[in-house]
Amino acid sequence: MKKAKNLVWLLASLAAITTSAQASEPIQPIQPVKEINLAKAELGKKLYFDPRLSKSGFISCNSCHNLSMGGTDNLKTSIGHSWQQGPINAPTVLNSSLSIAQFWDGRAADLKEQAGGPIANPGEMAFTHTLAVDVLGSIPGYVNEFKLVFGTGKVDIDQVTSAIAEFEKTLVTPHSPFDQWLMGDETALTQTEKEGYQLFKTSGCVACHNGEAVGGSSFQKMGLVKPYQTKNSAEGLAGVTGKDADRFKFKVPTLRNVELTYPYFHDGEAATLTQAVDTMGRLQLGRQFSEAENAKIVAFLKTLTGDQPQFLMPILPPSTDKTPAPKPFD
């Protein structure tokens, strides 16, 4: 009996030591969202999927940040109003609430500020805030819901962006295999995946890709060791700060769900994770990964895919509360 108790104690102690060691890793598990205004988030979900926030009536937030495609559109650069090709790769909306700022150049401080940008951008949804609010204010179902959520039936852009941001806060992806390993499940990763993580750490990748989101917490120059050759004209952070020292500095992207968010980099020029790892090794770390090393890192990166958002598609309020009279047969 005493031996059995000692064995239980030993196993518990080993589990505690393992959990403690993994808790000190540079990457932490994603925590499920805790504080959400459910009514506001539900309204925000409708707005996120509603193409009536665009001039054409065909483009919604989900068009470029598709929640069935890792929160992106899997294009080099997105297609906007009148089939315009966008200037930069659409970053994933998943786990975006964990980022230091929004957009590649950080021009929006938070999700609320970001939500208003595409609506009024002539190359994206091509509307104006005034017209978008007028459209929503003409839809009885929305007027009622805004009144329930905000206490007023008068819709304004501040409410619109606040609701969209509240919905986007729910789009976290916990319980990835790597998170399960971090929390003490040694069987959650294969030996190859563990070796890939060790390479990821010892090579210096964690200097930028760390924390819950495995990125998103800093701005770094693209091409530290060797210049990055691209035809994309994006200036990065310099376009916001006006400082030449910030030229070609971009927000470090999250690596959560990265196997789903191809193509990679701000210009979308890396089509595969293998290509992205090779480029980052050479240009950012000054290291040429062997084929075997690259494969191990890619294997680790794929363990960062967590639970994808699961919800019923929202039923959007009809444009009128009046049922049209049936048309007579000819």
Angle, in degrees to the nearest 10, between helices 157-169 and 129-137: 90
Write out the two tokens for 326.
Answer: 């049936």
What's the Cα-to-Cα distance from 80 to each of 112, 136, 242, rounded to whole Å? Answer: 21, 21, 27
At 81, the amino acid letter reads H
At 184, the amino acid letter reads G
**Which residue from 303, 308, 41 is spatially nearest to 174, judged by alpha carbons?**
308
Given a contact cutoff of 8 angstroms between Cβ atoms, the answer to whether 123 and 131 are in contact is no
Phi, psi of 211 (to 5 degrees): 75, -170
Q: Active site includes 124? A: yes
- Give the DSSP H/E element, type plus range, for residue 115: helix 111-120
**Which residue from 67, 171, 52 is spatially nearest to 119, judged by alpha carbons?**
52
> Which of these is catalytic: 42, 124, 212, 269?
124
Residues with active-site annotation: 124
